[in-house]
């Protein structure tokens, strides 16, 4: 069916006539029309008396100089590295001038609008539809798209040349776009703080977030009682979060449908950095609200790290709004603030649940901004005793990690890009609700996943980094890409629809998830230290008694460095040549091995990569683990008797046991014996797994309640 494209009504033209001072040329801005206007039906004019809130961002000065400064301040080899600006210094060098703010404010007042303040780089104002229409010389209509009613400007704003030259755009002229949160629920259980810090290896940093502040970017509220329950359950002793209202928004007295999102953002940051201060910025879910929140966060400059779990596919926003918000991110980068944003939960077609439709290959904003670290999602396999196991691309019936190629932002200097455009995500962390996070929200325990959980995981790590590092992380993308995957868990299998994972960087999980301590050490090293990059050869399969000759390749940032190779976990009968990196021999024993190759140069800089090696046929048969029933114990007292788990393999083979979710203080042996003394009260969901040498496994889940006194 054909859609009618609206044109201005003839009757409205006299009201849109140029001001009396018509001698000054009138200039139309660009990028301020919602994409939805072109595919919707105009049903009428927006009532003249309706109150509107607009934010008018002004252009930055010396943008070329700003780009040079941002590159230098993030370059560990530059004398400007880590010499960040204060908000006042940024304003003096790159911000709009006081005279520019006064000119724009005076123009808006002259058109009848009420200027409510200057928020960072933008002038905020309110007025009726009639006043906004007069100020920007464009009609405001009501539109219908498939039953959804929204208002929007029919054409780009028009301003006198002297004002248009100062203004970057106008936000708040439509209410079509509503930012989505990416939290995805699953059945209760989930990973808690101790497990997350163990799996992703952050304890070696020796930090707890003390002295650090993390800002959370929210369009809904939370209940402090939920956060308190989470902290008490896990003994975190975290300080209560503080809400910062933007444009008068404060949802905490009656949180809406995004309450779980806000709760999990706070709780995951506190899980990773329990002593960090959390500031919850809450804004109206509008273009103007988003822009004002970005500007307030950088203007306040209270938080060194910002976590963003809300976003829109780029096609649902206006270029002007995205560009204006990115200008605020640039200021944050100049000030040493780190931004981490979820890449979305709809795979390579990020508009799936928006009005742009599920057939559009798209990425999520703000993750697509080059001044933000976009965070994708994985499906996590946990090793024994909460060690790191492996990760694949998250893509199942619940959702999939967002990623792909931006249509708005050019590829920055530190990224290869595709056809000159920026690609996302940059990094990743666990995002699958089936392997998700324990969250207390709405008065009950739940398990959540989504890239909105992965973003605060990275924000929490950044808080730990900043506490102990020689200099703040700041806009970390250049440094992260400089490592070329070293210290990351490279995710090499899976896809998000249109993009596939592979060795090194890809548009599904970026460089992968962090090994927290190793990443800290790599980024906090001396500015002249070497970087060793090991190329992942991909998972290997070899027949029993098959011969092997596999060359693992590595490079060093120093062309004169000498490399030494070593390997752990090689299948029986194989060895690695320490000088060439060639793995050779005869694979004698059937089984599945997790192999890690480490390459060290003569300055002791090192890198590594891990992959799976299967010897023999793929796993067959079944393993059945007998459920022991629900268990109980008392905090501080040894188990009354050893809990012995049992399992049988259909082919009669022997098995090795592992478990996740055990109460703190308990452990499981390879033979399935659970022993120890519980150190924390609570109810824990335990997943016990038995695995044969050939990789066949089975599992069972039961509840373990520890009573306190």
Give how far Cα 27 sits from Cα of 13, 157, 162, 598, Å: 17, 8, 9, 60
Give the distance from CA 255 to its chain's centroid: 23
What residues contact 205, with CB distance under 8 A and at least 6 apart? 464, 465, 468, 516, 517, 520
CB contact at 8 A, 493 and 393: yes
Q: Which tokens go with 507?
A: 């548009």
Write down the catalytic residue from 338, 369, 452, 699: 452
CB contact at 8 A, 208 and 273: yes
Say if residue 374 is exposed, middle or buried (CB neighbours under 10 Å; 0-12, 13-18, 19+).
buried
What does the DSSP 8-state code read for residue 647? Answer: E
Pairing between β-strand 148-153 and β-strand 140-145 as defined by DSSP bridges: antiparallel
Handedness of CA 102, 108, 111, 115 (dihedral sign): negative
CB contact at 8 A, 253 and 174: no
Residue ranges of alpha helices (H) inside 273-337 are 287-300, 319-334
The answer to whether the peptide bond before residue 166 is cis (omega within 30 degrees of 0) is no
| Torsion, Cα of 553, 556, 561, 564 (10° steps) | -40
261 belongs to the catalytic site: yes
Write down the catalytic residue from 265, 267, 326, 515: 265
Pairing between β-strand 388-393 and β-strand 373-382 as defined by DSSP bridges: antiparallel
Q: Which tokens go with 72?
A: 């230098």
265 belongs to the catalytic site: yes
The helix (run of H) or strand (run of E) holding residue 264 is helix 259-272
Catalytic residues: 261, 265, 452
């Amino acid at each position: 069916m054909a859609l009618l494209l609206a044109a201005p009504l003839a009757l409205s033209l006299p009201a849109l006539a140029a001001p009396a001072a018509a001698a000054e040329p009138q200039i139309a801005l660009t990028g301020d029309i919602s994409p939805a206007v072109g595919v919707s039906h105009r049903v009428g004019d927006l009532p003249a008396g309706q109150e509107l809130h607009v934010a008018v961002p002004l252009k930055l000065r010396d943008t070329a100089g700003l780009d040079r400064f941002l590159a230098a301040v993030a370059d560990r080899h530059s004398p400007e590295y880590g010499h960040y600006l204060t908000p006042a210094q940024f304003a003096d060098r790159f911000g709009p001038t006081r005279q520019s703010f006064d000119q724009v404010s005076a123009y808006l007042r002259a058109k009848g609008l009420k200027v409510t303040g200057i928020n960072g780089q933008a002038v905020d104002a309110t007025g009726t539809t009639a006043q906004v229409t007069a100020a920007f010389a464009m009609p405001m209509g009501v539109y219908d798209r498939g039953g959804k009613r929204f208002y929007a400007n029919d054409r780009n704003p028009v301003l006198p040349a002297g004002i248009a030259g100062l203004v970057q755009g106008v936000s708040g002229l439509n209410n079509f776009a509503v930012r989505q949160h990416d939290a995805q629920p699953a059945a209760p259980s989930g990973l808690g703080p101790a497990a997350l810090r163990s799996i992703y290896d952050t304890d070696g940093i020796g930090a707890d977030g003390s002295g650090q502040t993390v800002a959370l970017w929210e369009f809904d509220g939370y209940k402090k009682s939920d956060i308190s329950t989470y902290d008490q359950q896990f003994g975190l002793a975290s300080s209560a979060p503080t809400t910062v209202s933007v444009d008068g928004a404060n949802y905490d007295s009656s949180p809406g449908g995004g309450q779980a999102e806000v709760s999990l953002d706070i709780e995951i940051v506190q899980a990773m950095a329990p002593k960090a201060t959390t500031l919850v910025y809450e804004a109206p879910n509008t273009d103007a609200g988003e822009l004002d929140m970005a500007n307030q966060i950088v203007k306040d400059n209270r938080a060194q790290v910002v976590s963003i779990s809300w976003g829109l596919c780029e096609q649902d926003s206006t270029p002007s709004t995205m560009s204006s918000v990115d200008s605020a991110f640039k200021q944050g980068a100049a000030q040493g603030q780190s931004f981490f944003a979820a890449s979305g939960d709809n795979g390579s077609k990020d508009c799936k649940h928006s009005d742009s439709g599920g057939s559009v290959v798209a990425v999520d904003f703000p993750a697509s901004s080059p001044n933000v670290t976009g965070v994708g999602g994985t499906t996590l396999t946990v090793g024994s005793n909460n060690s790191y196991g492996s990760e694949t691309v998250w893509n199942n019936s619940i959702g999939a990690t967002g990623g792909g190629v931006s249509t708005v932002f050019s590829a920055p200097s530190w990224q290869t890009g595709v056809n000159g455009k920026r690609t996302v995500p940059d990094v990743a962390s666990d995002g699958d609700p089936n392997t998700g996070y324990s969250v207390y929200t709405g008065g009950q325990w739940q398990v959540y996943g989504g890239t909105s959980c992965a973003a605060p995981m990275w924000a929490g790590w950044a808080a730990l980094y900043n506490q102990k590092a020689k200099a703040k992380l700041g806009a970390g993308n250049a440094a992260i890409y400089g490592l070329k995957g070293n210290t990351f868990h490279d995710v090499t299998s899976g896809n998000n629809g249109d993009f596939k994972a592979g060795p090194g960087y890809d548009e599904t999980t970026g460089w992968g998830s962090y090994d927290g301590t190793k990443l800290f050490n790599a980024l906090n090293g001396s500015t002249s230290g070497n970087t060793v990059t090991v190329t992942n050869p991909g998972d290997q399969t070899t027949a029993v008694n098959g011969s092997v000759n596999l060359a693992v390749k590595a490079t060093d940032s120093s062309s004169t460095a000498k490399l030494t190779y070593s390997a752990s976990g090689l299948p029986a009968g194989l060895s690695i040549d320490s000088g060439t990196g060639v793995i050779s021999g005869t694979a004698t024993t059937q089984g599945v091995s997790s192999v890690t190759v480490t390459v060290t140069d003569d300055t002791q800089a090192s890198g590594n990569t891990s992959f799976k090696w299967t010897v023999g046929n793929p796993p067959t048969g079944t393993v059945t683990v007998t459920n022991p029933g629900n268990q109980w114990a008392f905090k501080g007292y040894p188990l009354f008797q050893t809990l012995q788990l049992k399992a049988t393999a259909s082919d009669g083979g022997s098995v090795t046991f592992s478990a996740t979710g055990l109460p703190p203080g308990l452990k499981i042996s390879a033979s399935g014996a659970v022993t120890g003394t519980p150190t924390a009260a609570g109810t824990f969901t335990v997943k016990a797994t038995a695995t044969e040498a050939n990789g066949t496994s089975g599992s069972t889940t039961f509840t373990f309640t520890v009573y306190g006194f």
